[in-house]
Structures are given as structure tokens and as C-alpha cells.
Amino acid sequence: MSKVLKRLTEDLGYPVLDETTVEEFISATGDRVLFLTGDPATNLETDDVAAILPELVQAFQSRFKPAVVDRSIEQPLRERYDVWPVPSLIFLRDGALAGAIPKVRDWPDYLAEIKSILDRPVSPVQ
């Protein structure tokens, strides 16, 4: 795990979701974001998104709870939510997919896209 990813989990306390914890996090009430990192050793954008994510949480006044997805369960989540590029931020509300933002974006683009995702109604999970 890179230094920037360790900051998220060790310093900021973001949970690392694995096969035993992911469903509880996903199905919880409220807005959540899953950070699919990909391999930080081969994908230079991973550390960029890891550095930006805490700033996004702050900009949106902690409206959503973030978590880092363990690499061992990324593939099933990518298939489940039909999100292929990594790194990606997958936004969920009350267990339902609200939207996703793949790769690194410019700050104004992040703000606009996340606002749109958070303002959009989602269908309840069946």
C-alpha cells in the first residue's frame, strides 16, 4: 500500500473493505463512496485520487462516508456496478448505486459531478 493510501486508512481512519465487511458498508443508510484503487504501483492516478478524496469529503462537509476497497474484492465490485477504469469512486446511497467517477478529474469537475450525484434520486435496492 502506498504512503498516500496508508494516510487514508491509518491517519484518517477510512475503513478497508474486504469480503467480510463490504456488504455491511454498502447496505448502510446514507451516502457512501467506495474507492477502487487499482494497483498503485502501476497506476499513477491512484495516489492522486487518494490525495484528493479527503479534500472532497471536506468540501462536501462529510456528506458521504468513504472507504477503501481491498484489491482482493475490486473485480466483483467492478462487475456489480459496471465500473471498469481504476481508480474510481463509486457513490452509493442507502445501498443503491448513485454514480461513479473514474480516473482523476480537475477540481471543478469533481465538485460538479459529485454535487450532481448527491442531488440525484436513486432507486431503492430491491
State the residue for C-alpha cell 480516473.
Answer: 103
Alpha helices (runs of H) in the chain, residue ranges in sequence order = 3-6, 22-27, 45-59, 74-81, 107-119
Read off the pLDDT of residues 71-114 as tens digits, 9 standing for 90 and up.
Answer: 999 999 999 999 999 999 999 999 999 999 999 999 999 999 99
Helix (H/G/I), strand (E/B), else coil: 122: coil
CA distance 45 to 61: 24
Question: In terms of C-beta density within 10 A (0-12 exposed, 13-18 middle, 19 or more buried), how is residue 25 classed?
Answer: middle
- For residue 126, what pLDDT is reported? 55
71: CATH: 3.40.30.10
Give the range among 32-41, 98-107, 115-124 with minimum mean pLDDT. Answer: 115-124
User: Is position 37 within any domain?
Assistant: yes
Rg of the chain, C-alpha, whole Å: 13
User: Is position 24 within any domain?
Assistant: yes
User: Is position 22 within any domain?
Assistant: yes
Domain membership of residue 65 as a residue range: 3-119
User: Is position 126 within any domain?
Assistant: no
Read off the pLDDT of residues 18-27 as tens digits, 9 standing for 90 and up.
Answer: 999 999 999 9
Is the previous residue joined to 87 through a cis bond, with omega within 30 degrees of 0? yes
**Number of domains composing the chain:** 1
User: Is position 51 within any domain?
Assistant: yes
User: Is position 124 within any domain?
Assistant: no
Which among 111, 25, 102, 4 has a CA at the least distance from the CA of 67?
25
